[in-house]
């Protein structure tokens, strides 16, 4: 651990991230502890509630180990390899009951935050989606829990826990991951400059030059297409939980710029892992 003038200096997470991780884990645990039917299927997915909760418990444990500086290989970053790693881990882990899984989800989320705050991992860490800073790993953990927490809430008929503030805290991960999950069939030969704006704050740029995609915290000076989007809608679309037709019809996505026809192409540039 670094020290200045004899005092320990701990790496700090972005403001609010540690609390958001803990609160999200607790809210997911509360879903499971309220007479949850662990055999109910997740809408539009192959997993049951019990399987999704088991996956969250295992993923939180993985993230905590990475944050503590322990190397763990989990696929090669492609959607197919991650899906295969998920199925293997679930096959080897038999717990599907609510209370133990709820406790594990919270315990491992809190352990990850503690390790990140204490700077247990030196430099970057190798995650299932490539190398990341400790702060990006924390954002990854939150993003992953929000996606699966949303699935569990839908399956159980409860209110999900995604809100504007938490979406803002997912941006460090999202900006890191987006170039790594591009769909080469959709980006091939493409040239475009996007300005992405989240309602209430949060903005970044996506640029494609001959099919090579880069993401920048600052939007391009002369964007071809500006997409203004409601934050929860942004995250659900980014995680493959929602299409764009309904949000456009409901006014949750607004488009302007010299080439507005580029907007409908944007979601298809990426493959949600």
Q: Are residues 123 and 25 in the same domain?
A: yes
Q: Are residues 120 and 207 in the same domain?
A: no
Residue 90: partners with Cβ closer than 8 Å, 6 or more residues away: 51, 54, 55, 58
User: Which CATH number covers residue 41?
Assistant: 1.20.120.450
State the pTM of this model: 0.93
Give the separation between CA 86 and CA 62, rounded to whole angstroms.
Answer: 12
Q: Are residues 129 and 23 in the same domain?
A: yes
pLDDT at 126 over 70: yes
Considering 178, 207, 222, which residue would you say is the last residue of a domain?
Answer: 178
Q: What is the pLDDT of residues 10-62, one digit of tens each?
A: 457 899 999 999 999 999 999 999 999 999 999 988 999 999 999 999 999 99
User: Tokens 């939180």 map to which residue?
Assistant: 60
Q: Are residues 171 and 187 in the same domain?
A: no
Q: What is the pLDDT of residues 191-234, one digit of tens each?
A: 999 999 999 999 999 999 999 999 999 999 999 999 999 999 99
């Amino acid at each position: 651990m670094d020290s200045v003038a004899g005092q320990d200096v701990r790496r700090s997470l972005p403001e609010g991230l540690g609390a958001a991780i803990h609160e999200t884990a607790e809210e997911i645990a509360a879903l499971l502890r309220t007479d949850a039917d662990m055999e109910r299927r997740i809408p539009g997915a192959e997993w049951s509630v019990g399987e999704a909760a088991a996956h969250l418990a295992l993923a939180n444990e993985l993230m905590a180990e990475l944050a503590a500086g322990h190397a763990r290989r989990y696929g090669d970053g492609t959607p197919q390899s991650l899906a295969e790693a998920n199925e293997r881990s679930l096959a080897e882990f038999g717990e599907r009951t609510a209370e133990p899984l709820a406790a594990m989800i919270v315990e491992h989320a809190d352990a990850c935050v503690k390790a990140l705050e204490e700077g247990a991992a030196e430099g970057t860490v190798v995650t299932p989606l490539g190398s990341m800073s400790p702060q990006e790993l924390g954002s990854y953990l939150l993003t992953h829990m929000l996606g699966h927490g949303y699935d569990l809430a839908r399956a159980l008929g409860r209110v999900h826990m995604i809100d504007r503030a938490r979406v803002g805290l997912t941006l460090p991960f999202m900006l890191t991951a987006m170039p790594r999950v591009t769909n080469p069939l959709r980006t091939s030969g493409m040239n475009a400059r996007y300005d992405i704006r989240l309602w209430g704050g949060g903005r970044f740029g996506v640029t494609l030059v001959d099919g090579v995609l880069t993401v920048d915290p600052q939007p391009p000076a002369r964007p071809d297409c500006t997409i203004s989007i409601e934050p929860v809608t942004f995250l659900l679309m980014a995680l493959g939980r929602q299409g764009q037709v309904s949000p456009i019809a409901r006014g949750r996505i607004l488009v302007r710029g010299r080439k507005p026809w580029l907007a409908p192409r944007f979601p298809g540039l990426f493959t949600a892992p």
